Chain A
């Protein structure tokens, strides 16, 4: 810098050791400043890595086998009731569908379970080619409205467009997600060998995350008198009934805290997904399986159209283990990685023994 050179005269006292007090600028001799902090210097060597490989192999393979066995022990039954096929029972319902129809179309899908389902059985509905993770869809909700905020109830967020208002009234719950709530009703009957139909009791609570049900979703002004609270609002366009009529029988499962609704509001990660619908609790006596093998009938109130976007609807019955639903992926992955590690360990060991010593004193950088 030019300017700095003007100040040069101050510094020019060459050798004469100017009048300025000699301030020692000697740097501190601390370990940090001298880059001599005590340090651990790990070096991955064959000696440390080889055992690690064997260890990983030995740990992962059993875990993998365990996972695979667990997964295989899970009973899962899946049935597609979309009704694409001419001969499928729901074909008619899927064909002549309109949102405005007042009479519900019902169909009954028979199926057979070959194996008994022990313990609690979980009933899922599955949708395919349904983009719940589309950006426009994901953001189309108002969480503060769902949290019971009264101002948001009457004036929902703009993100809900075009499902924000109808008939000059705000929609509760607003947004595309709520609007497209899955509204098929699924009922399960066991066909007793003697021909009688036994209704299987389906539990509709405990299907949503506890925190969602109790904290994230709240009815405005408590769970009672919902119809008054929601008076000023309009129901979502595609809904047949208002939000406070979702489960009139149980005030703890009505309005925004209806669990079917909460489950639907948790947008799925992939376009093919399943959502928990009902739980079939195991029998008290513990002697008979929850679902014994035999013939069953799935009674569907067919409300939800999926044909327009080439979607599919499924009903899934599944038991659950400590690792969740049936998925052999983890078991296979663990077995594969474990064996690869083990295999690599063996290969490296061979290499090590054959070549390791010879190369020890080679290559010192010249």
Chain B
């Protein structure tokens, strides 16, 4: 449904302007006002039309208002560099790398500043260029708008000016198809009747033409017009404006005219069907309603990013504690005589002179730099790349292509790909999203008899009475009344070649004319009304030559809930039956009622309304009261039923979403019965679902409480009025109590339907759920401008490229042509992206942990001297070249389960056999701990495996020995192979790209190592790796140790893969799960205990083999020191593992 409120309002204004008949759809306006939450503005601004002083006021004080310049850009040429750099370094990651870089520059560190400076420089530059380009585009757009030529009336002459020069009070001329340069009060129109038509599609997405009116009684000669406008201060509500115009004529009392939104032309709207208009500027520049409505699209951050930051913090702690441990141990070690500065390794004079505490500090920083690779820049780059490249698969997906509009999916934010796989709440609009927004008049009911259109025009000009007897005579009259109501009571305009607009000219009871031209197109604020008029046309009803009875009839059309209280109760029952039946069939129903007004009554109502409209304050409330007063005691004529067909596969999609464990909430402006029937049709409510309806009448504590214990099979319905009561309860009530109760109920229901919602309320609901306990991931999907607020509010906003303009699409994160595409977007794309990126993040932390851990351990053997274990080339290339491509390919191509299976089994969205996915499960602490333990295990394995091999460094068959760089190279080789093969083990979907990249990067590593070690590099100070790799490969022992360490490091992983439950139901072959009852009880068991069990088993076995080795061989004095250290470490780790194990078992 488009903005219901707006529709009603504009409708009301048109009717009141014509003043002959009141047609009110004001069914629930009051309620909508309540929730608006608008504060009354006391101060107002006074505007002098054309800057002419008024005789009345004491002094002409031209007050200062802002100019008409729009600024949406962030930077200027001058502040770009500092401001952009400042903003970039506000991200912790960038700041961290900057610090590391600076430390490397200042302090004598083991690695060169280039290793961290170059990547950082690259990342910063690319980001700056991208942001600069975007801001340049904004500058360009701003300039285009600000320099747009406009015509301003100055002293009787038309002056061409740039748009930004317009001042408040200027009289501006706008011609057809131009947009208004600022907010204007319409003074004069080229049309005879003082109206003009505008479309506000770019503001709120409604593409219909709206009628605006000149201020009554303004003179034709604008030059002679002396007037002031008193209006409220600018406020963002597009549909509200209160003002008053004082018109001064020579020697007359100033006439006062009320100004409402119908007089205000908004900046951004376009003039249509009107040659030209003159208007006076009231709000300019950043104070226009459009500018005030500009919501900077706030940066949405995905849950994954939050997890990354949390992990980052952990790793930062690890890093700092490593540095602290090393620094402390260094000084403990040095305190021993002769250790710090033996005769063979003297310090330089500078080092000797430096302050000890300063030395300690720089040592600490050096350790930080040495271990800083544990948090790599490349992870950020890879994550960004994965997201950016990954989003192409969404745009490329041909299943999202809609042949009707010749468009596919659109990705506005690639940051949220993985969030699509985490959705817990889906908030969907109804009209245009669940339904097609394609109205068709189905049937009507007049005076209790049903009429349904049939092709054979047998009776009553196309009407067919389908039930009940027909009392021809009386019925005829009623029918006429009914159809007259249908024809009159609407905002439909006829679009013709000429600009003459017919249907809305409701001038008296007689003389109405509706020409049944088949080619006519209709434009209306609500598709319902088009359907009704078309329906009336189908019946061939033309009101030709109707006799005037010289009496005034008040027609009223609206939802049953608002009409029924206004009519005599005895008439209701007959119609209600039909209305309810129609509503349950999913049709949109409207009731039609009328009332005969005597001349006095009319006059009274007229004056009453005029008065109300002049009020500056509480105008709408007063109007409402007046309407309510007039619209009493009406008689019901009949009801209509309009069908809004469901979108293709709407039901299947909803079923799939619910099957995936998502809670679907329908938020609609439509009325309850219709929305309910749509929900039934979409199978959101099943036949067995017990519906809990909550309206104002039933809002009582006791009932709420009894419901909150409800089971899963409940559906919950609430309407806007009740909701505003819940959200903003009367002062005495306990606000938070209501809210939490409401949330509890909603979270226990499978489907929730919120009807009669204002756009703001939609966002309120989303916000409430978003901020509830556990902060679930929410998704909003909608197609209209009224959904924008909730699209922006939700974690993920999806726009449907529907009929109601492009506003939703532009504000969304993703846009798809149809609702049915949501299923694949979430169940397949979202799910896969989540698994991919979760794995990517965990893998990155893991691979850097086992990369740096040996380097840390090496400090224990090199006198805590910050000696790097690996060569600088390896340190730099590890994350950039050797291990980056396989994980990138994995994170783009992995399909642990095929897309078809994901689509067929919605439940996989939450659980993938034992692998839990929902609630960001793959990035919670448990898996993180698992990966960390794995990283530590492998790091220990690499280091100590090689360390024991090096207890005799004579590893070549010619008796020659290996040095420290060979040591590092062996560890590094094992590392690169293990880490890559670990990824290979995790890869379930081996395309040729995966093969190429995995085996390719291993081959590249070998090739690079040969190359790097094969040449005396002239630019290097030290030829550390000269032929180290080749010599390593010539040693059989090195080969053997590499093989066994790789195997041993992967063994736990292989075991786990086997012990893990089958992945997906398609592969039910010879799997088995662990026999422990604890583990195989149900599908929600934690697999972690088994992880730790196996881990500790392997670990203990491995360690015992080391111990065995040392018991078997002589344990001489010199070797005992590392051994005791090692044993200490081992016992510590074992203790830790056991405690983990215990924790895991609990």
Contacts and interface: CB of A to CB of B under 8 A. Distances in A.
B1134 to A, nearest CB: 17
B1027 A209 contact: yes
B863 A211 contact: no
A268 B953 contact: yes
**Residue among B866, B945, B1037, B1119 having the largest count of chain A Cβ atoms under 10 Å:** B1037
Nearest to B294: A2
A332 B342 CA distance: 37
A7 interface: yes
Contact of A3 (B141, B868, B990, B1070): B141
B1094 to A, nearest CB: 9
B805 A12 contact: yes
Contacts of B294: 2, 5
A3 B72 contact: yes
Interface string B1076-1107: 00001011000000000000001001100100
Nearest to A30: B396
A157 B1112 contact: no
B1071 A336 contact: no
Contacts of A27: 395-398, 400-401, 408
B397 A180 contact: no
A312 B953 CA distance: 17
B817 to A, nearest CB: 11
Contacts of B199: 12
B415 to A, nearest CB: 16
Interface in A200-240: 206-209, 211-212, 215-216, 238
B469 interface: no
B954 A320 contact: yes
Nearest to A332: B1109
A310 B396 contact: no
Contacts of A238: 343-344
A75 to B, nearest CB: 13
B948 interface: yes
Given A133-B867, A266-B961, A356-B1072, A337 B956 contact: no
Contacts of A318: 954, 959
B815 to A, nearest CB: 12
A162 B954 contact: no
Contacts of B895: 35, 39
A12 B806 contact: yes
A212 B779 CA distance: 65
A41 B991 CA distance: 9
Interface string A159-184: 10111000000000000100110000
B959 A320 contact: yes
Interface in B952-985: 952-968, 985
Contacts of B354: none
A327 B946 CA distance: 12
A193 interface: no
B912 A143 contact: no
A258 to B, nearest CB: 16
Given A131-B865, A356-B1071, A269 B990 contact: no
Pick from B270, B994, B1026 the residue with the most CB of A within 10 Å: B1026
Interface string A327-353: 111101110110011001000100110
A34 B397 contact: yes
Interface stretch (A18-26, A282-290, A292-300): A18-26
Interface stretch (B234-242, B529-537, B648-656, B1061-1069): B1061-1069
B133 to A, nearest CB: 13
A47 B1057 CA distance: 12
B121 interface: no
A326 B863 contact: no
Nearest to B1041: A330
A8 interface: yes
A267 B1055 CA distance: 40
B207 interface: yes
Given A27-B395, A359-B1080, A47 B1070 contact: yes
Nearest to A35: B393
Contacts of B339: 309
Nearest to B1101: A340
B951 A320 contact: no
Contacts of B141: 3-4, 6-7
B877 interface: no
B233 interface: no
Given A28-B396, A356-B1071, A269 B953 contact: yes
Interface in A112-149: 120, 122, 124, 128-144, 147
Interface string B870-899: 000000000000000000000001010001
A216 B1023 contact: yes
Contact of B803 (A15, A35, A337): A15
B948 A24 contact: no
Interface string B561-599: 000000000000000000000000000000000000000
B90 interface: no
Interface in A31-62: 33-35, 37-47, 49, 52, 56, 60
Contact of A1 (B138, B393, B407): B138
A276 B957 contact: no
Given A122-B954, A322-B957, A329-B949, A271 B1035 contact: no
Interface in B1003-1038: 1016, 1020-1023, 1026-1027, 1030-1031, 1035-1037
B1044 interface: yes
B406 interface: yes
A270 interface: yes
Contact of A365 (B1031, B1083, B1098): B1083
B1109 A329 contact: yes
Contacts of A44: 985, 1054, 1057-1058
A196 B392 CA distance: 87
Given A8-B806, A41-B990, A43-B1063, A139 B960 contact: no
Interface stretch (B317-325, B345-353, B625-633, B703-711): B345-353
B346 A271 contact: no
A170 B994 CA distance: 55
Nearest to A348: B1058
A45 to B, nearest CB: 5
B1075 interface: yes
B862 interface: yes
Interface stretch (B41-49, B679-687, B690-698, B903-911): B903-911
Interface of B: 70, 72-73, 110, 137-138, 141-142, 144-145, 179, 199, 201-202, 207, 268, 270, 290-291, 294, 297, 338-339, 342-349, 392-393, 395-398, 400-401, 403, 406-408, 803-806, 810, 861-863, 865-868, 893, 895, 899, 905, 907-908, 911-914, 945, 947-968, 985, 988-994, 1016, 1020-1023, 1026-1027, 1030-1031, 1035-1037, 1040-1041, 1044, 1047-1048, 1051, 1054-1055, 1057-1058, 1061-1063, 1065, 1067-1075, 1080, 1082-1083, 1098, 1101-1102, 1105, 1108-1109, 1112-1113, 1117-1119
17 contacts: A22-B406, A26-B408, A35-B899, A44-B985, A49-B1054, A49-B1057, A131-B863, A134-B863, A267-B964, A269-B964, A270-B967, A309-B338, A320-B958, A324-B959, A325-B955, A334-B1040, A365-B908
The 9 residue pairs across chains A and B that have the minimum distance between CB atoms: A3-B141, A8-B202, A180-B344, A325-B954, A356-B1072, A269-B967, A122-B959, A33-B396, A135-B865
Given A49-B1058, A63-B1040, 20 more contacts: A2-B72, A3-B73, A5-B290, A12-B805, A34-B398, A39-B895, A43-B1063, A46-B1072, A49-B1057, A131-B342, A133-B863, A143-B1021, A147-B1023, A266-B962, A270-B947, A273-B953, A273-B961, A309-B343, A321-B957, A330-B1037
